[in-house]
């Protein structure tokens, strides 16, 4: 049994980790932090976990306790926390899976540009492995530090990877729109995310350069071996969970839908959490049919008349977009079944 700790366990991604790991066959949660709920039971903030974790209480963040109690640690905190905490743990031999943006980017300058943040430990950026198994499975296996992708980035990348690798689309410019549910904003309401303001919205935000663009460009550049420019416009929608990315691309080759299908089926054929969606009546991916699961549903439409395609990916932002993908990485790091704890179908209706 691997002893697992969760820092930021009172938030949404932390809660989702606790939910997944409650029935994981090879791990035991030994440490869960919350500064606000320290000393209180897990159900004080996660009532859906009643009956699990009867002896576990939230702790305050303590380096010594983490080192004593855990072999592997998930960090689910806002930007700027993991880059202070992780280095001290890594020095003591702990393996760290960070869900925040602190280690996703390779280039220190990009943190200044996209996050307005002076990275305190830039030497660790090269050591961190971008935690998307579909791109970095072999490096994740022996990684000490895994930086899990953002939810919008996960959906955008999964929609685009095969097309960019095979260069069937025109580069370097790609336009992506993302629709995403309210849980992406975390558990603490702000004016924009407070329920009365957020319910029923279809609201674009950060339309002139969302932070997730940096990691999407970084990973696509690596695949294409050329400069890539991504315009990504997220839209807040009324659902609680779910993200749908649609990449609007021009075809560089004369391919029809059957050929695109074959390309995607070949690229993702062995991926345990990718499903290619095709055929009526549910012709295109819809986050509604992945909720509660680690699946990413991928689909496409080819408009031959004008040489255009729409490449789409639907995920649950808290699962494949956060905690599910993080557990998938942990399973790879522990060299156990990659699907352990994650092998459940989505909810329906959700
Ligand atoms: N929500 C998503 O869909 C999603 C998807 C992918 C990635 N992410 C990323 O994952 C991270 C967590 O997101 P979330 O949605 O779970 O946020 P959240 O619901 O706001 O939870 C944040 C957690 O961090 C703790 N925390 C805050 N400041 C801290 C500090 N200075 N030191 C230690 N703990 C601190 C909070 O608990 P206390 O205040 O009680 O300590 C809380 O448990 C973020 O970086 C986010 O960008 C989120």
How far apart (Å, rounded) are the C-alpha atoms in residues 239 and 182?
A: 6
- Name the residue at shortest CA distance from atom 45 of ligand 1: 100
Find the 10 Cα to ligand 1 centroid distance in Å: 8
Q: Answer yes or no: 70 catalytic.
A: no
302 Cα distance to chain centroid = 27
- Name the residue at shortest CA distance from atom 29 of ligand 1: 77
DSSP conformational letter for 339: T
DSSP conformational letter for 147: E
Q: For the segment 298-317, what is each residue's pLDDT rounded down to a tens digit?
A: 999 999 999 999 999 999 99
- Name the residue at shortest CA distance from atom 27 of ligand 1: 77
Q: Is 224 left (phi over 0), alpha (psi -120 to 50) or beta?
A: alpha
What tokens appear for 114 in the block?
């996209």
120 Cα distance to chain centroid = 23
List of domains in the chain: 2-149+320-334 (3.40.50.720), 151-317 (3.30.360.10)
Angle, to 10 degrees, between the axis of helix 12-21 and the axis of helix 324-334? 50
236 Cα distance to chain centroid = 17
Residue 191 CB neighbours (<10 A) = 7
The reported pTM is: 0.98
Question: 247 — phi, psi (to 5°)?
Answer: -95, 125
Question: 267 — phi, psi (to 5°)?
Answer: -65, -40
Relative to beta strand 95-98, strand 72-75 is parallel
Find the 60 Cα to ligand 1 centroid distance in Å: 14
What is residue 343's three-state secondary structure? coil
What is residue 148's three-state secondary structure? coil
pLDDT tens for the chain, 350 residues long, are 999 999 999 999 999 999 999 999 999 999 999 999 999 999 999 999 999 999 999 999 899 999 999 999 999 999 999 999 999 999 999 999 999 999 999 999 999 999 999 999 999 999 999 999 999 999 999 999 999 999 999 999 999 999 999 999 999 999 999 999 999 999 999 998 899 999 999 999 999 999 999 999 999 999 999 999 999 999 999 999 999 999 999 999 999 999 999 999 999 999 999 999 988 789 999 999 999 999 999 999 999 999 999 999 999 999 999 999 999 999 999 999 999 999 999 999 99
């Amino acid at each position: 049994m691997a002893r697992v700790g969760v820092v930021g366990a009172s938030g949404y991604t932390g809660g989702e980790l606790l939910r997944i790991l409650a029935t994981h066959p090879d791990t035991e949660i030994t440490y869960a932090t919350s500064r606000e709920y320290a000393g209180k039971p897990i159900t004080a903030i996660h009532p859906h976990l009643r009956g699990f974790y009867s002896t576990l209480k939230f702790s305050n963040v303590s380096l010594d306790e983490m080192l004593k109690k855990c072999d592997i640690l998930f960090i689910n905190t806002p930007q700027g926390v993991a880059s202070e905490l992780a280095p001290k743990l890594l020095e003591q031999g702990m393996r760290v899976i960070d869900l925040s943006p602190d280690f996703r980017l390779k280039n220190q300058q990009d943190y200044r540009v996209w996050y307005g943040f002076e990275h305190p430990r830039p030497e660790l950026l090269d050591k961190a492995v971008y935690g998307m198994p579909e791109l970095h499975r072999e490096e994740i296996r022996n990684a000490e530090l895994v930086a899990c992708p953002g939810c919008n980035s996960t959906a955008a990348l999964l929609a685009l990877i095969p097309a960019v690798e095979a260069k069937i689309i025109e580069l370097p410019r790609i336009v992506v729109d993302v629709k995403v549910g309210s849980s992406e904003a975390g558990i603490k309401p702000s004016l924009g995310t407070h329920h009365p303001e957020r319910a029923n919205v279809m609201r674009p935000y950060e339309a002139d350069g969302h932070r997730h663009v940096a990691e999407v460009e970084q990973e696509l550049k690596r695949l294409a071996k050329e400069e890539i420019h991504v315009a990504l416009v997220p839209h807040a929608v009324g659902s609680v969970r779910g993200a749908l990315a649609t990449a609007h691309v021009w075809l560089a080759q004369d391919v029809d839908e059957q050929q695109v299908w074959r390309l995607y089926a070949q690229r993702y054929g062995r991926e345990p959490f990718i499903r290619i969606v095709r055929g009526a009546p549910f012709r295109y991916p819809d986050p509604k049919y992945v909720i509660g699961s680690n699946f990413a549903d991928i689909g496409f439409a080819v408009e031959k008349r004008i040489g255009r395609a729409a490449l789409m990916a639907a995920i649950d932002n808290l699962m494949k977009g956060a905690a599910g993908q993080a557990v998938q990485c942990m399973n790879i790091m522990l060299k156990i079944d990659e699907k352990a704890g994650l092998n459940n179908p989505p909810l329906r209706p959700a």
